Structure 1
Amino acid sequence: MNYKYLFILFFSTAIFNIYGQSANKDILFSVDGEPVYTSEFLRVYNKNLDLVQDESQKNVDEYLSLFTNYKLKLKEAKALELHEKPSYIRELDSYKKQLAKSFISDSEVTDALVQEAYERVSNDVKASHILIKIPENANPKDTLAAYNTIVKLRERALKEGFEKVRKEVHNGQTVYGEDLGYFSGFRMVYPFENAAYNTKVGAISQPFKTQFGYHIVYVQDKRKSRGERTVAHIMVVEKPGDSLAEKPENRIQDIYKKLKQGEDFEALAKQFSDDGNSAPNGGKLAPFSGGQINSEEFEGTAFGLKEIGDVSEPFKSAYGWHIVKLLGKRPVASFEKMKPELEQKVKRDERSKLIDEALYTKLKAKYNLKEENKALAYFASILNDNFFKGTWELPKGFTESKPLVKIGNKQLTYKDFGDYLVSAQRNMPSKTDFKTLVSKQYNTFLNTNVVTYQEDNLESENEEYAHVVAEYRDGLLLFDLMETTIWNTAKTDSLEIENYYNAHKNKYTTPKRIDAVVASSKDQKTLKKVGKLLKKRMGLPEIKALINSNNKIDVIFTVDTMEANHQALPKAFEFKKGISKIYNHNNAFVLVQVNEVLPETQKTLDEAKGLVISDYQAFKEEKWLKELAEKYKVVVNQEALESVKTQIKNQ
């Protein structure tokens, strides 16, 4: 499903239908008689000029070709009536509802929550807690028992000390006593976060409830956030089954000794780090803040480095052995810079309930709605205990057509609320009095309907919303078309895929490789000695013992089956059996002993299937687009096209 949304996002930012044309009505081209205006093309082209990576797409003629293909596909999708599929309609409706939330939410409440969130991500809390675990839908008796238990534990903790009580009561099943360390905003559920940040250092909070049960929190410390760190690392991992591989702790110590001898960290990371993602960049990792790295050892070491350029001693994490170098440190970003990200987090968090409540209040005022309704007494009178068993039905003689409440121009009746009550009884966890129950259910019913009404009318009220929906509508339609016509070929065109593979076999091969030993050293003379010893067929352990003496590491060996782009090999290295000359590579010298040259081999269809299918789909799409161009006549207005080119040139 993520693939679908990425595809739709591409079309919503790259090529989309613009509604509400400008005064310029010149027709740039037509597809089967349907006009496409220059104003639309110019807006799309200019909007995406800085986004496209392929320089050819910045050429007007090339971009026009892409845009024409897009319009041809849309024409075909509608001809196939894909826009009438129930699944398409459902997914579009779901997206519209989700999108509408960002257009109709209460901005004042959102802004206040975003400001609060910024304060909390700017400060860390160190805390421990005790939790009496109960289900979210626990009955009143169990809820009261849990509350009484946590109250008593708080009283004990105040007298005996929180940590003593926490350790004694923890059983990992019904009672949890945990030391949470430091955390910041969004690391805990919102009620827990509130309790932690609103409790003073050294104090124990009052009991509070979350979705997990009842808690008390003991706040041990508060501090300013440590901000963000950028580090590089060298990682060595265990290689099970490789009898020639060194123990990772020995290899990391050898690398560390070379660092202490003054060798370059970046160069050593490129040569020896087993982290394939960061090694080509000298071990550099993306910046991270506290709690982002899933390793306490790694994070603690990284934040423990004080000055730029400081290097840690070797240490072990769950992932392997590391050496870390501090490249940069940055405090928490400004509020303005973080605001967009925090807004998204707030809307996904439990905080969103506060935003929802503010929205309900605003919309009820807009449509002059009141939560009290005289009809509620009638509904309370027709309920009975069957409601809590899930078997209650609307009584005979129920006046279903009687008006209940009007939202804008939409009239809701007794039947609408009656049906809502029938469906709601399935989710009733425990008994309560009918008057309270009906009042609560009516409030939820009213909230749901007033938001639905606003969403249903938003496209006609808000032009920006209408444009975004239009983009998604076309993108979703194109995804369904491409999936139906092109992407499902792996299931339906097996013979054609095999034929395509046979016709293009030379594209699908395993490249030439070498079985090799690469010796790396900072000193060229050392490698000359190594070369002589290799020629004498001396084993690598013996050579290391001879060269790396007096606790000094002068050479490190890498043993592997290598392609030409292997990190240990110099560029344009000649694949030739034997011992190579000495190369200058990654700010060091390397010598390569090639034990065997493994020739290029032909991949079978099964081995290359993913790439073959991708190539075949591109081939099929190109052929299909030619068929669409014949099916739907495209006529380009050359005069309008020249005008477009002139406008773009003069921008």
Structure 2
Amino acid sequence: MTTKFKFLLLFLLVVQLTKAQDQDAVLLTVDGETIMTSEFLRVYNKNLDLVKDESQKDIDSYLKLFTEYQLKLKEAKRLKLDEDPKYQREFLSYKKQLTKNYLSENKVTEDLVKEAYERNSYDINASHVLVRLDESVKDTTNVYDKISSLRERVLNEGFDKVKADAHDGTTIFVEDLGYFSAFKMVYDFESAAYNTPVGEVSEPFRTQFGYHVVKVNDKRPSRGTITAAHIMVGLNQKDSLLVPEERINEIYKKLSQGESFDALAKQFSDDKSSAKNGGTLSPFKSGQLSSVKFEDDAFGLVNDGEFSEPFLTDYGWHIVKRISLKPIKSYDELKPTLEARVKRDSRSKLINQAMVEELKGRYDIGYNEEAKSYFESIITDEYFSRSWRLPDSFEKDEVIFSINQRDFTYNEFGRHIMAAQRTYANKARPASEVVEKEYESFFESSILKYREDNLEMENQEFANILKEYRDGLLLFDLMEKEIWNKAAKDSVGLENYYEKNKTKYQWQERVDFVMASSADEDIATKVFKLMKRGKSQEEIENALNNDKEQNVIFTKGVYNTNDNRLPSDFNAKKGVSGVYNHNEAFHVINVNEILPAGTKSLKEAKGMVINDYQNEIETNWVNSLYDRFSIEVNKDALNAVKQLINN
């Protein structure tokens, strides 16, 4: 039986067990609470590919982990951590974010995803004028007139002139935005930019920030995704001999002489995460990195294998090499990512409107046909001066509409319409218009809220994800309280643990050295001879380097003898070594001092000691949970699970 078929069989079984409780069996009982076989299989199957320790794929081993997880949940609830206001706020915040991903209407979502893909295929270069306006302000006449006037000035005088005269950085912003694509701006702004032809200025439009006009300067196809490598020399160096700008120029000389980018990155780049791979970075596209300068220099390279001149960013000095450049991915490849972003974006308002229509067809909805006329009859002119109150005879218990078995009352709509009167201050209009508008608003919010409140019952996937987060957040708080904080704050216990286990915390042998590196073995041999004669670094550099050629580079520091800067066959002894071949270059090492292996002090090993002490505390604590709570395993159900997994 193939692995694929076994997983398919497992999936089908889980589905069947979930749908038919009479075919499910209790696998585990923890302090009276039962956990079904289907739940265990769901979690096991979900986590199977994430588990790197093969022993955890064994059912008995995984059941032990699963049981301890349940014990910790029991302890968290015993301590009432789930009632803590901070926990509840964090959980509800996550639930609100997760819910947005499930409250959508597929057709509208698909249209927005296609639009996002089309826009993502182009970069827009734009400038804009913004007159700030609070989103709640309804009287916008003055602000609209101001933005219209500024638009006329841009058309007649030019953007730069208006920027110099009008920008104050507080209420009026006149800014160059550079290049951007989909999702970089709020949706209304993005739409205005993409719908404005190059060279033209849009009509005024409103976002949550105020009124804008946007001037589109350029529209170009997406620059795609680049794979690049870089050599970085950081601005803060522990090597006292190294001046960052001088070092990057030395490296650039060596590259220009034809030396290997890969080898120089491995030996000299301060970006350790990429240096071991010859400086290669993860692929990125325009706007993805935090440094525009780095992106522009990388995308500015014309051919694969071409490298830039040294340039400076906030992180240090760089030389970047283009490895490959790929155009934007196909729609099918990008669709899942774009869909997730659309649902998080302000585009979700459009999705919500479509969702309301879909829910109207799904739910059993009853309307009170007399409700609107009743509310029209009780609204008076006081409503428009914000002094209106519900009458004493208000029929608060009447039902305005129902969704499934949930009745929404006059009292709920009454509170809504009371709160809404602030938006109608000094704007008298027929009561029927107010009631119609606010009724639609109240109905939309009510049906979406009903869907949200019942989503956990209606959508099993949502319920599973929410449970995992609820439990995970609870366990984090529990571990922080019972384990992590105790280990970090228990200085006496920490010191006692260190004294009993100090042999675990050892320094490897280290060397304090100066190393000269060259791509030319003959040059390295000359360095060796000069070092042997006691020549200084400055004397050697003056003898072997010149304005046109960088033949040797020096490095100084204290490193473990197995550091990747040092040759694997390096023989740690005081004095000048022979010539080593390492990282496609030749090196001569002058060892000033050998620092022998030995026991680290508690201060030096504190991070590791705290981690190990935490593990000891946790082991003892988990054992106490086994004593506190009763555990029963259904052997028959467990054997059935084993038979299923192993077949």
Q: Which band: TM-score by shorter chain? A: 0.7 to 0.9
From 472, 497, 503, the equivalent of 2:469 is 472
From 155, 165, 172, the equivalent of 1:158 is 155
Structure 1's 470 and 275: CA in aligned 2 closer, same or farther, altered over 3 A? closer
Match of 1:103, SS state, is coil
Look up the match of 1:249: 245
Aligned pairs for 1:414-493 within 5 A: 414-421=410-417, 431-433=426-428, 435=431, 439-490=436-487, 493=490
CA contact (8 A) 1:269 1:283 kept: yes
CA contact (8 A) 2:238 2:557 kept: no
CA contact (8 A) 2:239 2:556 kept: no
One-letter identity of the residue aligned with 2:113: V
Look up the match of 1:540: 537
CA contact (8 A) 1:129 1:166 kept: no
**Does 1:517 find its partner at 2:514?**
yes
CA distance in 2, matches of 1:338, 1:471: 27
One-letter identity of the residue aligned with 1:486: I
CA distance in 2, matches of 1:19, 1:470: 16
From 266, 273, 297, the equivalent of 2:269 is 273
CA distance in 2, matches of 1:441, 1:610: 59
Q: Which moved more, 1:499-508 or 1:87-96?
A: 87-96
**Does 1:387 find its partner at 2:383?**
no
**Does 1:500 find its partner at 2:497?**
yes
CA distance in 1, matches of 2:518, 2:425: 74
Match of 1:281, SS state, is coil
CA distance in 2, matches of 1:29, 1:572: 56
CA contact (8 A) 2:510 2:558 kept: yes
Look up the match of 1:374: 373
One-letter identity of the residue aligned with 1:615: D
One-letter identity of the residue aligned with 1:215: H
Matched residues, percent identical? Answer: 50
CA contact (8 A) 2:231 2:279 kept: yes
One-letter identity of the residue aligned with 2:130: L
Structure 1's 175 and 70: CA in aligned 2 closer, same or farther, altered over 3 A? closer
CA contact (8 A) 2:488 2:610 kept: no
From 344, 352, 356, the equivalent of 1:360 is 356
CA distance in 1, matches of 2:88, 2:289: 41
One-letter identity of the residue aligned with 1:433: A
Look up the match of 1:403: 399
CA distance in 1, matches of 2:78, 2:43: 24
Aligned pairs for 1:54-203 within 5 A: 54-80=53-79, 82-83=81-82, 92-138=91-137, 140=139, 143-203=140-200
CA distance in 2, matches of 1:314, 1:92: 48
What is the deviation of 1:630? 3.4
Q: Which moved more, 1:636-645 or 1:232-241?
A: 636-645
One-letter identity of the residue aligned with 1:257: K
What is the deviation of 1:197? 0.7
CA contact (8 A) 1:138 1:429 kept: no
Q: Which moved more, 1:454-463 or 1:85-94?
A: 85-94
Structure 1's 598 and 438: CA in aligned 2 closer, same or farther, altered over 3 A? farther
Look up the match of 1:3: none
CA contact (8 A) 1:24 1:39 kept: no
1:105-159: CA deviation from partner (whole Å, max 9, x where unpaired): 211111111111111111112222222333334462xx32221122233334334
Look up the match of 2:254: 258
What is the deviation of 1:616? 1.7
Look up the match of 2:549: 552
CA contact (8 A) 1:382 1:395 kept: no
CA distance in 2, matches of 1:21, 1:314: 66
CA contact (8 A) 2:512 2:558 kept: yes
CA contact (8 A) 1:129 1:179 kept: yes
CA contact (8 A) 2:249 2:310 kept: yes
Q: Which moved more, 1:66-75 or 1:202-211?
A: 66-75
CA distance in 1, matches of 2:276, 2:108: 46
**Does 1:289 find its partner at 2:285?**
yes
What TM-score does the superposition give when structure 1 sets the normalisation length?
A: 0.86
CA distance in 2, matches of 1:549, 1:105: 67
1:88-109: CA deviation from partner (whole Å, max 9, x where unpaired): 5565555444433333321111
CA distance in 2, matches of 1:66, 1:339: 36
What is the deviation of 1:76? 3.8
Structure 1's 71 and 132: CA in aligned 2 closer, same or farther, altered over 3 A? closer
Q: Which moved more, 1:320-329 or 1:84-93?
A: 84-93
What is the deviation of 1:255? 1.0
Q: Which moved more, 1:429-438 or 1:477-486?
A: 429-438
**Does 1:212 find its partner at 2:230?**
no
What TM-score does the superposition give when structure 2 sets the normalisation length?
A: 0.87
Look up the match of 1:234: 231
From 346, 349, 354, the equivalent of 1:350 is 346
Look up the match of 1:569: 566
CA contact (8 A) 1:228 1:330 kept: yes
One-letter identity of the residue aligned with 1:432: K
Match of 1:488, SS state, is helix
Structure 1's 600 and 30: CA in aligned 2 closer, same or farther, altered over 3 A? same
Look up the match of 1:336: 332
CA distance in 2, matches of 1:420, 1:355: 23
Coordinate RMSD, CA, aligned: 3.2
> What is the number of residues matched between the two proteins?
626
What is the deviation of 1:215? 1.8
Look up the match of 2:10: none
Match of 1:316, SS state, is strand
1:452-472: CA deviation from partner (whole Å, max 9, x where unpaired): 222233333333333333433
**Does 1:627 find its partner at 2:624?**
yes
Structure 1's 467 and 19: CA in aligned 2 closer, same or farther, altered over 3 A? farther
CA contact (8 A) 1:270 1:282 kept: yes
CA distance in 1, matches of 2:299, 2:53: 40
One-letter identity of the residue aligned with 1:627: S
CA distance in 2, matches of 1:125, 1:498: 60
1:338-391: CA deviation from partner (whole Å, max 9, x where unpaired): 112111211222111111222233334545477982233245328546638xxx
CA distance in 2, matches of 1:393, 1:498: 68
Structure 1's 257 and 22: CA in aligned 2 closer, same or farther, altered over 3 A? farther
CA distance in 1, matches of 2:83, 2:550: 71
Structure 1's 431 and 555: CA in aligned 2 closer, same or farther, altered over 3 A? farther
Which stretches of structure 1, 4 residues or longer, exceed 6 Å deviation after superposition?
Answer: 369-372
Look up the match of 1:10: none
One-letter identity of the residue aligned with 1:276: K
What is the deviation of 1:286? 1.5
Unaligned segments of structure 1, at least 5 residues:
1-17
CA distance in 1, matches of 2:476, 2:186: 36
CA contact (8 A) 2:128 2:214 kept: yes
CA contact (8 A) 2:574 2:593 kept: yes
One-letter identity of the residue aligned with 2:428: D
CA contact (8 A) 2:103 2:352 kept: no
1:469-489: CA deviation from partner (whole Å, max 9, x where unpaired): 343343344334433432331
Structure 1's 337 and 581: CA in aligned 2 closer, same or farther, altered over 3 A? same
From 573, 580, 583, the equivalent of 1:583 is 580
CA distance in 1, matches of 2:59, 2:212: 63
Q: Which moved more, 1:531-540 or 1:324-333?
A: 531-540
CA distance in 2, matches of 1:565, 1:448: 64
Structure 1's 444 and 598: CA in aligned 2 closer, same or farther, altered over 3 A? farther
1:36-70: CA deviation from partner (whole Å, max 9, x where unpaired): 55554444333322211122222333223222322
CA distance in 2, matches of 1:270, 1:565: 15
Q: Which moved more, 1:120-129 or 1:502-511?
A: 502-511
CA contact (8 A) 1:125 1:219 kept: yes
What is the deviation of 1:393? 5.6
What is the deviation of 1:621? 1.6
Q: Which moved more, 1:292-301 or 1:635-644?
A: 635-644
